Amino acid sequence: MSVVSARIRARRREQRAKVLISAAAFLVLGFTFLLFAYLVVEVLPLVRPARLAPLSEVSSREAVLAFPGELPGSLWVVSTKGVVRLEPQGEEVVLPGMVPPVAQVAADRWGRWLGVVDAEGLKVFPLRFRASFVGQDRRLALKVGTALGAPGARVKVLALGGEGEPVVVGVNSGGTWLFRASGGELSGALLTPVASQAAAVDDKGSAVWLAAGRDVQLWDGAAGALLAVAPLPAPVTTLSLLLGDTTCLVGDEAGKVRAVGAYREGESMLLESFAVFSGKGPVLALAPSPRSKAFAILHPKELEVAYLTSRRVLARQPVVMEGRADLAFSPRGDRLQVADRSGKVAIFSVDLGHPEATLTTLFAKVRYEGYRKASWTWQSTGGSNAFEPKLSLVPLIVGSLKGAFYAMLFSGPLAFLAALYTSQFAPSGLRRWVKPAVELLAGVPSVVVGLVAALVLAPWVARHLWTLLVAFFLVPGALLAAGWLCELRPRAWQLALQRRWERLLTFGILVVTAGGVAVLAPASEQLLFPGGFLEFLHGRLGVSYDQRNALVTGFALGFAVLPMIFTLAEEALSNVPESLANAALSLGASRARAAWTVVVPAAAPGLAAALLL
């Protein structure tokens, strides 16, 4: 009975162990599935398409021109009597010093300046918005500053800009005029006797873009000098500067929008188109996003939102517009406002998603703003909102492969040779402390290795690059020379001298070589490269040296993985049956030949596993 009960208890223990092992396996699979599901949920926003949908409509009792509002379903409008009103709430602010009737009203793209042409002439008002809360309701208060005027200037305002002081571009029968603040007023200067049909001014007021017929012109806003001209295939209808003021969007009558960049070549400027977006019907208005490189395009029957970096039209929405209309993003970039001349404003909700991450921007060459050629570039963050994310994964993948290659180039041969010597040639006493000592290196955290490599190793390598290159060739040569000298000695000396003398000779030659390299390499660098080796690379060969390069990365990574390769390789070599090596020795092979021709091939699977791991 005791034997039967013991068997029953053993079977029950086996069943419980089986249940526990199965439960643990299912638990691991469940956590793996949850991790996969979490990654999918995190990645899904990258592939979600942009959305552009009608939100509301606001109508005014008068013919007005709208500029960007902040509250959902509302916007600021300016009446012909010079009254700024928040529609549909009805809050009003009277523009000081206005002389009705108002002939024209224009606002800059970010809502900081309001240009008004009244009975006296051109006036520019600074605008400031302040938010307040009444309970849970958010309200905006508009503060209008003192106007700067140009009495008698009867012009049509094309563009406003500038940060601290306003810059205005206007046209009349005499041509295109540039107005700047001077002595509390606006002083005008004639840029060109040709009346431009569109204009754009950057935030600093230093660059003015004009459209005259089929030409796009770039002017120096301070000196009033023409910098560059670019002809286009169709007459230009509208201009707008993208966020960052380095790219000018040019819309034409053929329905195309071109991204034109300004590049310096020597002492002159060059305008070059590097992206084209096609649409249906002439371009009526353009509006840049205040948060990204997206922009809105208004055609007579369609509203589009495009993204410059990926060269894609993200979303389309049907609209009906007769004649020229006004288009603007809200300050948060989540709404679009389209206003016609009758005072009706259509408001659309905008959700761009992540247009900067597409298969093209992740894996293909992209020509970014300021670049003359397409390139693979990774730069995920910048110092301002105008930064253009560069998310190419190719540099990361290639950099990882380069780092792995240099790491294997350094750690692979060193670890394999050390494992071969330890398992086949080293005395048992040396083997007992070498293997544990190398395995202790595996406990060094990789973060510490990377920190030391970045803060200590990289600057040191930059200062002694020529010395390292010389040592890279001389030290292995010295080791080979030491082995060759040991083989050249007479047979009687080989029998008389013990192996320790061979090691002492090799170590002595290595020390002498290292000392010679440390002394002679700096002298040879000053002799061959008077300004330094790095200066020679940069000045003569055009190669710029970065301290944190793939070579340093490979060395640090190789140091981190060397203990693992050594341990696995040594175990694979030690597990080869001694009978195989003894058979080779009995046939007359030397210890080294037996190791290379018998032990290493037998341990090849384990060596390959060590390298892959």
Residue-level pLDDT at 501: 64
Q: How many angstroms separate the CA atoms of 407 and 556, rounded?
A: 8
- Enumerate the H helices of 63-219 as residue ranges: none
CA angle 106, 108, 109 (to 5 degrees): 125
What Cα–Cα distance (Å) separates residue 157 from each residue in 161, 199, 434? 12, 9, 83
Spatial distance between the Cα atoms of 303 and 72, rounded to a whole number of angstroms:
19
Helix (H, G, I), strand (E, B) or coil at 378: strand
CB-CB contact of 298 with 52 (8 Å): no
Low-confidence ranges of the chain (pLDDT < 50): 63
Q: What is the DSSP string of 138-152?
A: EEEEEEE---EEEET
Ramachandran quadrant class, 90 (left: phi over 0; alpha: psi -120 to 50; beta: rest): left
pLDDT, residue 275, reads 92
Q: What pLDDT was estimated at residue 314? A: 93
Q: State how far the Cα of 393 lies from the Cα of 389, in Å rounded to an integer.
A: 12
Per-residue model confidence (pLDDT) at position 62: 58
Considering all CA atoms of the chain, what is the largest pairwise distance in Å, rounded to the nearest integer? Answer: 120
How many angstroms separate the CA atoms of 512 and 534, rounded?
A: 27
Neighbour count for residue 53 (Cβ, 10 Å)? 10
Distance CA 161, CA 155 (A): 16
Q: Is the dihedral of CA 514, 516, 521, 522 positive or negative?
A: positive
> Partners of 129 in the beta sheet?
142
Q: Six-digit token pair at 280?
A: 């249906």
C-alpha count within 13 angstroms, C-beta hemisphere, residue 434? 17
Phi-psi region of 225 (alpha: psi -120 to 50; beta: other; left: phi over 0): beta
Whether 209 and 169 have beta carbons less than 8 Å apart is answered as: no
Q: How many whole angstroms separate alpha carbon 411 and alpha carbon 408?
A: 5
Query: What pTM, to 2 d.p., does this model score?
Result: 0.79
In eight-state DSSP terms, residue 456 is I
Tell me what pLDDT residue 78 has: 78
> Are the C-beta atoms of residues 325 and 340 closer than 8 Å to each other?
yes
Helix axis angle, 499-528 to 465-488, nearest 10°: 150
Residues 124, 113 contacting (CB under 8 angstroms): yes
Pairing of strands 113-117, 104-107: antiparallel
Residue 217's pLDDT is what?
Answer: 93
Calculate Rg over the CA atoms of the chain. 37
pLDDT value of position 208? 93
Residues 6+ apart with CB under 8 A from 530: none
Cα separation of the two ends of the chain: 53
CA–CA distances in Å: residue 378 to residues 46, 396, 401, 403, 606: 17, 8, 16, 17, 38
Helix axes 428-440, 394-424, angle to 10 degrees: 160
Q: Count CB atoms within 10 A of the CB of residue 188.
A: 19
Asked if 350 contacts 52 with a C-beta cutoff of 8 angstroms, the reply is: yes
Do the beta carbons of residue 181 and residue 125 sit within 8 Å?
no
